[in-house]
């Protein structure tokens, strides 16, 4: 029996690794696009010769392909008689699976449409994903997630009227991990709900602390995703946090994105409203269904999307539309807050058209909760 036959015998059961994962061994790396198309049409048929391992993942007719070299000397020792054979195969197969999966997820950027080869540049992204997934649970247990707060201001009073809670991740070895590095990953795998619950509870505790230390009521808004509103556990968790901290429900403001528009979500929003929570429509103007959602969901405050506001400010027609939005919210009895305010000119325009509540870098960037508390304390002392 040749070495190739031995390898084939050992790896015979490894070709169809899972429902949408296939592997193959080839004698060389001559796997061109033509070969890829052949593989894509017959999946686990593959080549069984040895030398290079390839994996394919398939999802909704999108293929991700990854092929990896291994050290021939080490591999000979491991495949032909070494006790570590199974461990080697497992590790190598997992690596190929990860790479093929990474390739598949980039298919939308591929000129080949539904076929994407793994490239070495994906490695950093793959490493980051693995790091996040392996450490996200410990980050809750060890309180590595931090609540940052971005102040909301009244233009006319020139004072803080509340804040939005945001999440940061301070890892003991990696340092600060910013939202764009981990939020998309935990949204995809569903862990975002646990992180959100963690931040909601931190917000409740902060509101409680402000009241206890004589700083009065400081509303804190938290993000509520579509997944939360479809989850029966959501309201139970919120009620539990409110009960534990003893704060008024209206002080924990719930920001719901304007893209959340189905009937189930709308029903849950009405329930939250009836229980006394303040509801904010986040990112108003970022989609095409804003006005419909206003009819279907009982919002208290509208938050103008940063891009929407910027686009409206560049022309007389845009400013007129912005004025009409302000007028509409006033007539509906809704509050209005402009996000992403960064210049004095924006502040002056918003003030002139009657939008008094703002949030953005012109006033303050997101900051650690303790720094925000100090800011509140200073404001309170100056009154």
Per-residue pLDDT of 330-348, as tens digits, reads: 998 999 999 999 999 999 9
Whether residue 197 sits in one domain with residue 279: yes
Kindly tell me the sign of the dihedral angle through the C-alpha atoms of 85, 86, 89, 92: negative
Confidence of residue 84 (pLDDT cuts 50, 70, 90): low
User: Which strand ranges, in their side-by-side order, compose the sheet holding 21-26?
Assistant: 16-18, 21-26, 52-59, 62-69, 115-117
Mean pLDDT of the chain: 77
Whether residue 290 sits in one domain with residue 151: yes
Q: Supply the CATH number for residue 323's domain.
A: 3.20.20.450
Q: The pTM is what?
A: 0.74
Whether residue 146 sits in one domain with residue 40: no
Of 119, 145, 169, at which residue does a domain stop? Answer: 119
Confidence of residue 85 (pLDDT cuts 50, 70, 90): low
Contact status, residue 279 vs residue 297, Cβ threshold 8 Å: yes
Contact status, residue 192 vs residue 160, Cβ threshold 8 Å: no
Whether residue 310 sits in one domain with residue 169: yes
pLDDT at 170: 97
Contact status, residue 79 vs residue 10, Cβ threshold 8 Å: yes
Whether residue 91 sits in one domain with residue 65: yes
Whether residue 103 sits in one domain with residue 160: no
Q: Which of 53-67, 89-103, 105-119, 242-256 has the highest mean pLDDT?
A: 242-256
The DSSP code for 76 is: H
Question: Quick count: other Cβ atoms within 10 Å of Cβ 347?
Answer: 19
Residue 298 three-state SS? coil
Of 88, 119, 150, at which residue does a domain stop? Answer: 119
Whether residue 135 sits in one domain with residue 197: yes
Residue % of the chain over a pLDDT of 70: 65
What values do phi and psi take at 88, rounded to 5? Answer: -60, -50
Confidence of residue 73 (pLDDT cuts 50, 70, 90): very low
Domain around 97: 3-119
Question: Quick count: other Cβ atoms within 10 Å of Cβ 364?
Answer: 18
Whether residue 338 sits in one domain with residue 193: yes
Of 119, 146, 181, at which residue does a domain stop? Answer: 119
Number of domains in the chain: 2
pLDDT at 122: 67
Residue 338 three-state SS? strand
Whether residue 243 sits in one domain with residue 157: yes
pLDDT at 37: 46
Per the model's pLDDT, the better-predicted residue between 358 and 14 turns out to be 358
Whether residue 195 sits in one domain with residue 72: no
Whether residue 209 sits in one domain with residue 136: yes
Whether the predicted pLDDT of 356 surpasses 90: yes
Whether residue 228 sits in one domain with residue 163: yes
């Amino acid at each position: 029996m040749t070495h190739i036959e031995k390898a084939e015998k050992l790896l015979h059961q490894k070709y169809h690794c899972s429902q949408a994962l296939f592997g193959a061994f080839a004698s060389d790396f001559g796997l061109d696009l033509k070969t890829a198309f052949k593989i894509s049409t017959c999946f686990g048929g593959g080549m069984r010769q040895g030398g290079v391992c390839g994996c394919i993942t398939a999802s909704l007719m999108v293929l991700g392909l990854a092929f990896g070299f291994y050290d021939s000397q080490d591999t000979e020792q491991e495949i032909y008689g070494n006790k570590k054979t199974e461990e080697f195969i497992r590790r190598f197969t997992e690596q190929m699976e990860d790479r093929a999966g990474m390739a598949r997820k980039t298919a939308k950027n591929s000129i080949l449409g539904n076929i994407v080869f793994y490239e070495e540049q994906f490695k950093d992204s793959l490493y980051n994903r693995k790091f996040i997934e392996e450490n996200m649970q410990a980050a809750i247990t060890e309180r590595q997630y931090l609540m940052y707060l971005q102040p909301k201001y009244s233009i006319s009073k020139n004072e803080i009227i509340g804040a939005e809670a945001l999440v940061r991740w301070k890892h003991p070895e990696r340092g600060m991990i910013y939202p764009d590095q981990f939020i998309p990953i935990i949204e995809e795998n569903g862990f975002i709900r646990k992180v959100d619950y963690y931040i909601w509870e931190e917000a409740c505790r902060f509101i409680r602390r402000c009241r206890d230390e004589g700083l009065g009521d400081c509303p804190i808004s938290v993000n509520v995703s579509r997944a939360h509103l479809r989850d029966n556990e959501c309201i139970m968790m919120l009620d539990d946090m409110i009960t534990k901290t003893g704060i008024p429900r209206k002080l924990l403001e719930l920001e719901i994105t304007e893209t959340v528009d189905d009937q189930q979500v709308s029903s849950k929003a009405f329930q939250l409203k009836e229980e006394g929570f303040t509801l904010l429509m986040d990112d108003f103007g970022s989609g095409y269904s804003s006005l419909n959602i206003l009819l279907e969901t009982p919002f208290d405050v509208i938050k103008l999307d940063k891009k929407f506001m910027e686009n409206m400010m560049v022309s007389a027609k845009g400013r007129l539309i912005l004025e009409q939005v302000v007028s509409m919210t006033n007539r509906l009895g809704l509050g209005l807050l402009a996000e992403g305010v960064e210049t004095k000119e924006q502040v002056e325009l918003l003030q002139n058209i009657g939008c008094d509540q703002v949030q953005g870098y012109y006033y303050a960037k997101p900051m650690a909760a303790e720094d925000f508390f100090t800011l509140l304390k200073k404001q309170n002392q100056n009154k």
